[in-house]
Structure formats: structure tokens, C-alpha cells
Structure 1
């Protein structure tokens, strides 16, 4: 079995365990993305995760775990890094306009190369601080990006009136809840089980009050 076959098996098993049904070309494109990330990571240190199998679990499956909660026609991924979860979601559920935002030039260069190489329609990468981004989005994702207070303080203006904010966290961030700015509320909290990942994962759905 080649390395790619092993990674594909791990990815497909994880997708099945998450109960997801993805487009036919999603798995090969996700693996192409992982290979590109692995290649760039050797030179640019985009992620601390080096092992390809760990990338499948910690990056691909961790991002895919929130897919059932993504909604709307437009999505902004704040502090996207190398495209997590925004680029993964764009491959798994194409068709929405997606903006990947990061202040790090190396990471945005990688994002632009990945968008080009993977021929991702409707996906853009922007090098900017979150507070300087303009527009409004139906769905906003943020993974290990900042505290809830900072996240919403910097980027709250980007959430459409009926939009949903998906905040990905490790442990349940009960200590951060009092810091949520006025005008925003927690709609629900979900414990996520990421196949192959023995760590706590929580997703908070926030909206305008």
C-alpha cells in the first residue's frame, strides 16, 4: 500500500465515522491539499504537525467535523493559517463564496497557491488583520484563533444579521463566556468527536442577540 493509499483509507474511514457524504472528487482534492501543505511546510513551517497521517486527523478530519453546522452562501474563515478549516470546507462543500483571512504573508501565499493548484472557484485569500476586513458573511469560522471576547471584538462586524459564528475550541471555554461582547449570544455548544483524535473538541455556535 502506498502512503497516499494509507492516507486515503484513514481519511475515508474518518469521513464515514463523522457520518458525512462528500462530493466524489472531495477525497482526492483533500489529499492533494494535504500533500501541498506537507511540501510547503518543509520550507515555510506553516504548521507544527509534520506527520502526514496526523495531518489527516488533526487538520482534515478536525475541520470536517464542523461541516454539518456550516450554512449560508458566504463564509469567512478568520485566522485561517494554512486554510483550516476554511479551505477544507471549501473542498468538501463547494459552491459558497469563501474568504480566507490571515495576517501572515507566508500563510496567505500558501493559500493562494492552494486555491490555484486545486482550482477552487469562489475562494479568495486575503492578507489582513481581522479588524480591517470589510463585508458581511452568513457564516464565520475561527479555529483556535483567539478568545471569544477578542474574536468577536475584532471580527463581529463581519457577521451578517442572521449569520452564524462557528468558534472551534479544544476544552469547553466556560471561562470565556462572560467576555462575550454585548450584542452576541451563544446559540448552542457541541462536543465534537474527531475520529482518531484523543483530545477534547468543542464547537460554539454564536449569533447576534
Structure 2
């Protein structure tokens, strides 16, 4: 007699807990990683882009201002960048919506453990380390936020003059870092709720799995 999906998932979750998995630790780790990223990004991104711009200008002797503002070449490059950016931004926003839909069902299984009623297809499974889970969650959500920001950025830039790209970049990075910080705070809030034992959905799912095991 084949085992039900609920039974298989319950066994895998029990194995994960023996190996040290904890939904609370995953959420707290994700929150810390996102909050640290929200503090680091405003310092790292402008410096990195400035270094890349200096490298291109020194290596290829390209004046980026002429490409952005001058002649038909600059207009064509800007049009291509806008269209590609809109496409990528739409894809990233779709990924963010999908992730948040999973978060709405149950928060911790976004990257590691599925809902107890969903069958895992892998035969040998072990949970990733908490940091790997946190990074796996944070980079996808951050990319989704970047997509939202990119769409607004491109729309605004196609209407408003691009004469001051540094201020433009600075405001965008601030918005991105604030969004990452908000998600990090939400992760920490979910972890604190787990620590207090008030996450009923997770405990009820485990209880249903226990009942299924007892009936067999």
C-alpha cells in the first residue's frame, strides 16, 4: 500500500527537525539577512556602479554622456534599454507575486518545506542550512522589488530628463533598501510569532498529519 502525500511529507518534516530545521530559525535568519542587506546596499551599489563606469571609460575611451544624450545612437540605445528593462521588470514582478502568494499560504515553506498536503517528488531530501534558506528567499523577493522599482524608474526616466543620473540612482537605491528592510522586519515578526506559539496554521497542519499517521 502506497503512502499518502501527507504521510510522506510528515516523515520528511520529522527528518528535517532531527537534522536541526526550525521554521522559527529560518524566519529569524531571513529577517537578519534582509535587514543587513538593507543597510549595506545603499553603500555598495553606487560604489560598484561608479567603479564599472570608470572601468569602461578608461578601458574603451567611451564617454557615457554622449551615448545617453547624443544623436541617433544615444536615442536608439536608450529605447532598447527601456524596452528590455520593461520586460525584465514585468518578469521580476511576476516572480514577486508568486513568492508572496506562497507566503500567504504558509510562510516557512517558501524555500524549503512544502505544505504538508503537497507531495515532494525527490526521494532523498535534506533541508538546506538556515543561511541558504534565507538567501534563497531574500534574493528572489529583492529581485521582485527591483522589478517594481525598475518599472517605475524606466517610466519616470522616459518622461523626465536624465540630466542628473546620480540623484536618480540614489533615490532608487534608497527605495529598494527600505523595501528590503520592511520585508526583513516582516520575517522577524513571523519568527517572533512562531516563538510565542501563535502560528496556528503550522501546528494545525502538523496535527492533521499526526492524525493521518495514526489512522494507518
The structure with the largest helix share of the pair is: 2
Q: Same fold by TM (over 0.5)?
A: no
Higher relative CO (Cα under 8 Å, sequence separation at least 6) belongs to 2
Q: TM-score, normalised by structure 2?
A: 0.22
Asked which structure has the greater CA Rg, the reply is 2
